[in-house]
Structure 1
Amino acid sequence: MGQRLAPVLARSFMAKIEAPVLEYLPLLYCRYIDDCFIVCATQEEVDACFGLLNSQSEHIKLTREKPTGYWLPFLNVQVRLQGDMIVTKWYGKKSNKNIIVHYHSAHPFYKRAVVRNMFRTAKKVCTGEDERKESIKMAHDIAWSNGYYNFLQQSYRLVTSLESSRKGANIRSVFPVLT
């Protein structure tokens, strides 16, 4: 009964104030509710886009994060420009306590889903193998600190046995035929 109004208002407000920035044609513009990610060719263009966003309303002023070590956080990823490529890896804010449902809680399906999805996210948001290894290590540390010792060993054994059984397997492809 009832719907939260804040996300709807945030989306509609952001749609209004982002219109001039989109006319400016940045190289990349991403937004999730009120978090924006803008890539421009020069720092001056980024500053101009930021100025445009902040000039739309006298009551609301946006902030921006500066890159640390060439990495810029956006939602649950860190982004870095490497040459002409965008490199990403999994990210957790410094204020995040990394607390998930503990292994000894009485929620078996929820526990499996939380840990599985944490590892899935750590793997899928990364663009390179080094970033993927770092993200999986971070997920492993979070799971370990929440009591998932046996679960991690069992999962590792299952994944390695599946990978070894698939090495010699042929992959079948199905293509639709239009006549």
Structure 2
Amino acid sequence: MAPPYKTGAFQRIHSSEHINSQSDHIKFTCEAEVDGQLPFLDTLVKRSKDGSLRISVYRKPTHTNQYLNFNSHQPLEHKWSVIRTLFHRADFMVTDPLDREKEISHVQSALQNCGYERWTFHKARKPKTTTTYNSSAANANTECKANITLPYVKETSEKRRRVFQEYGVFATFGPLTTLRKNLVALKDRTEKED
């Protein structure tokens, strides 16, 4: 029989106290399973009576289901990425088919509340036959001569990118302003002589 100081609960408390005493800046917590369930990162691991594990998506109680709004001023590929990422997580992380169906239904409902329409799900989940930048087979054979980053302006940026593609210049989009540009004041430059 193991001595009382070697039992699991005591060991967990003792080891977390030891780890947390190493630095004032990093604090670890130890979480025990409740009703055979344990959240780990963004997954919920469920232990069945036969010992097998089922994995589903975990959301904190404070989760609001707010994702990038479809009507926001962002490139369309960012909105496709939101859909693809959430559905990819449901398709490949959730182990039980019933849990997977519930997760897909939940994602669709949450995204519809953020302005995504049904056609966006079909378009985003359609298998890719060409790269993101090449919209036609003719462009797929175009040699890449340069890559540029353009400020994103709704509707006009996509048109400019198509024109650049014809000449082998591939464009990505960036924001017009960033928090860094608005908040960070750089120091005065030191003169070379100094």
- For normalisation by structure 1, the TM-score amounts to 0.54
- Native 8 Å contact 2:55 2:94 kept in 1: yes
5+ residue gaps, structure 1: 1-43, 160-179
- Say which is worse superposed, 52-61 or 82-91, in terms of deviation: 52-61
What's the CA shift string for 1:26-61, capped at 9, x where partnerless? Answer: xxxxxxxxxxxxxxxxxx436523432322343465
Correspondence 1:99 to 2:66: yes
The one-letter amino acid of 1:75's match is L
Return structure 1 stretches of 4+ with deviation > 6 angstroms: none
Contact 1:73 1:79 in 2 (8 A): yes
- Structure of greater Rg: 2
SS in 2 for 1:56: helix
Structure 2: unaligned runs, 5 residues or longer? 1-6, 128-194
Paired position in structure 2 for 1:140: 108
Query: Taking every aligned residue pair, what percent have the same amino acid on both sides?
Result: 21
Deviations 1:45-97 (A, max 9, x none): 36523432322343465333454553221111100111221110011212122
8 Å Cα contact 1:76-1:90 kept in structure 2: yes
CA distance in structure 2 between the aligned counterparts of 1:157 and 1:48, rounded to whole angstroms: 47
Which whole-Å deviations, capped at 9, do the CAs of 1:88-125 have from their partners, x for residues lacking one?
00112121222111112242110001111111112211
2:81 match? 113
Do 2:16 and 2:30's aligned partners in 1 also have CA atoms closer than 8 Å? no
Contact 2:38 2:46 survives alignment (8 Å): yes
Compared with structure 1, are the counterparts of its residues 117 and 89 closer, same or farther at alpha carbon in structure 2 (3 Å cutoff)?
Answer: same
Paired AA for residue 64 in structure 1: C
Q: Deviations over 1:119-175 (max 9, x none)?
A: 11122111111121122122112111111123356359968xxxxxxxxxxxxxxxx
What is the DSSP-based 3-state SS (H/G/I as helix, E as strand, rest coil) of the residue aligned with 1:55?
Answer: helix
SS of residue paired to 2:45: strand
Quote the residue 1:130 is aligned against: 98
Residue pair 1:77, 1:89 contacting (<8 A) in 2 also? yes
Write the letter of the residue equivalent to 1:94. Answer: P
Name the stretch that deviates more: 59-68 or 115-124: 59-68
Distance 1:53 1:65, change over 3 A: closer
| TM-score normalised by structure 2 residue count | 0.50
2:77 is aligned with what amino acid? F
Contact 1:79 1:88 in 2 (8 A): yes
* RMSD (Å), alpha carbons: 2.7
